[in-house]
Structure formats: C-alpha cells, structure tokens
A and B are shown apart, each in its own frame.
Chain A
C-alpha cells in the first residue's frame, strides 16, 4: 500500500510531566515503516536529544508503548500506514504514568501495583524438589493460560479510564497477573492474592468499560480476568461469613 504523501508529519511530545509541548518533524515515509522507526529516525537524524524507550523491536519486551494519535500502542509493531492515513502522526508518552522526559514514562507506579496485587509468584516447592506436574487440560490451567502472554507494556494501563479517575486503582495488567496466579496450581498464596485485590484500589473498582481488552496488543482480555477476580473474591466473602458464623 503506497502512502498518500512521501513525507510524514510527526508531532512529538517534548518535555517532562510538568511542562512541554508538541514539536513538529518531517521525516521520509518508507515502506513497512513502524512508528518506532519514525521515532528512531527523528532521534538519529534530526534531534539526538529526543528520549524514548525500546529494546527488542519485535513485540516481546513491552518497552516501546506510547500514545499514537491519542491511543496507546506498541510502537514497534504499529505500522505507520495503519495510523497515518493523512500522513500525520502525533506521538506522546503513555497516559496515566508520570513523564520522565519526552516519550519516556516512569514505570515504577505500574510495577509497584503488580506487587501490591500480589502479582508475584509464591512457590510451594524448593529448587531441590521435583517440578510439579501440571495438567494443561484443567479449567484452572486454561484460565491461567488465557492471561499469561502479557508483556508488561502498560498499554492497558494507559487505556484504562478507571486508572485515570482513580490513581489508587491497581489497573488491568496487575489484576490480570493476579488472576493467572489465582489459577496457577503451583502458586501457594491464593487467599493472600484474593485479599490483595479486595482492598481499596482493587478489582472491585473496575467499571467493565473494556478499553484494556480493546487495546491489548497481545489480544488478552484483562476485563475477563478482573471479572473472574470479582467472582472469586465474592465467593471467598461468603465463605468467610459462613466460617465466622
């Protein structure tokens, strides 16, 4: 597919979280060019002070997510042709995260919420013991498998309006991770995970708008994982009530 113009008009956010603005650049349009290619071209040829983050360039590491024309995308796998119908692209740092400089966001709040959601593996065996056999056909394992391809890119976190309105909310990625562990036969802290996602900023704050599932580049459905957590925590709530009675 040929581009409408041979020059791309790229508008890039320059500055930090407190001040800054969009700066315009013109770059040559090329066949099979990605948005990350466009950013790299600007940094390598027009302005070496432009800061951005990337690593693998093949959609595995989750480093290069940015806002492209107002929508969160993994820029290494987003073709310019897909987003620049009029030959113009606006590139900004990921929404809902503090900006360090230009297109680089501070990912600390994002990963701190993974830990707050108990999104860390809780082993039940030591390395000296045999590896636990896992039957891939069990419903629990299949539920876990549906969510484990997350690459931690924070696209869902940037897309989530609940995160924007409620900074305490753990967000779709951390809750999706918690759900995979709740369903992981090898994880030994199911009650602790359910407690962690039941607190003030937990899964119950989700409004089920579904932007996470719409924008996830790996086509995961965090909204379904969050619904699963709501179901399981409600079940555990009734269970606790019965035990306390």
Chain B
C-alpha cells in the first residue's frame, strides 16, 4: 500500500513542512510580543506575495503528507484497499488543499 513513490513523497513533503512550521512558530512568537490584533495581522499579510508563497507551500506539503498518512491508517485499521483507498487518499489531499489554499488566499490576497 506504500510503495517507494508514496514513501518518498511523504518524506519530501515532511522535509518542506519542517522549516516552514519552525518559521511559522518563530514569526508568531516574535509578532505577538506586546499583543497583536487580527487587523494588524491582516494589514501585514494582505497583498503579500511572500506570505502567500510561504503558507501556500505549507498547505501543499501538508495536503500530500497527511493524505498519504491517512491512506496508510485507513488501509491498516479499516482494511480499505484498491480503488476505494486511492479515492480516499485523493479526497483527503484535495480537501486539505482546497480548504488550506482558500484560507491562504483569504488572508494574503
């Protein structure tokens, strides 16, 4: 159920996620010093191509990584195989991608 291609995709997407997650946490800790409002956050992210790419890349990596993980769990614990398993994987991937990119677009467009 997990061939070399999916294994590498999951590892490489983790490789992308790790520095982006650390960057996100570092910026959050820095930005909230002394308090920050939603309006102030939006004023910095709206129209920012940089933040759009930063969080857009994170969303893409998460969607790939989580979908492959859910696929393995579904196969091993629920016994789902074949086309159903592939469909579930794609559904999770595209669902996360749609929700994540919508959120990123909303705060950076």
Contacts and interface: CB of A to CB of B under 8 A. Distances in A.
Given A165-B77, A166-B75, A237 B1 contact: no
Interface string B37-78: 000000000000000000000000000000000001001110
A204 B75 contact: no
A165 B2 contact: no
A200 B1 contact: yes
A178 to B, nearest CB: 14
Contact of B76 (A165, A198, A233): A165
A153 to B, nearest CB: 25
Interface of A: 162, 165-166, 168, 198-202, 204-205, 230, 233-234, 237
B109 interface: no
A211 to B, nearest CB: 15
Interface string B1-34: 1111011100100000000000000000000000
A233 B4 contact: yes
A44 B2 CA distance: 47
Interface of B: 1-4, 6-8, 11, 72, 75-77
Contacts of A204: 2-4, 6-7
B3 A198 contact: yes
14 contacts: A162-B76, A165-B77, A166-B75, A168-B1, A198-B4, A199-B3, A199-B4, A200-B1, A201-B1, A204-B6, A205-B72, A233-B4, A234-B8, A237-B8
B77 A202 contact: no
Contacts of B76: 162, 165-166
Contacts of B72: 205
Contacts of A230: 7
B69 to A, nearest CB: 12
B11 A166 contact: no
B60 to A, nearest CB: 19
Nearest to A204: B7
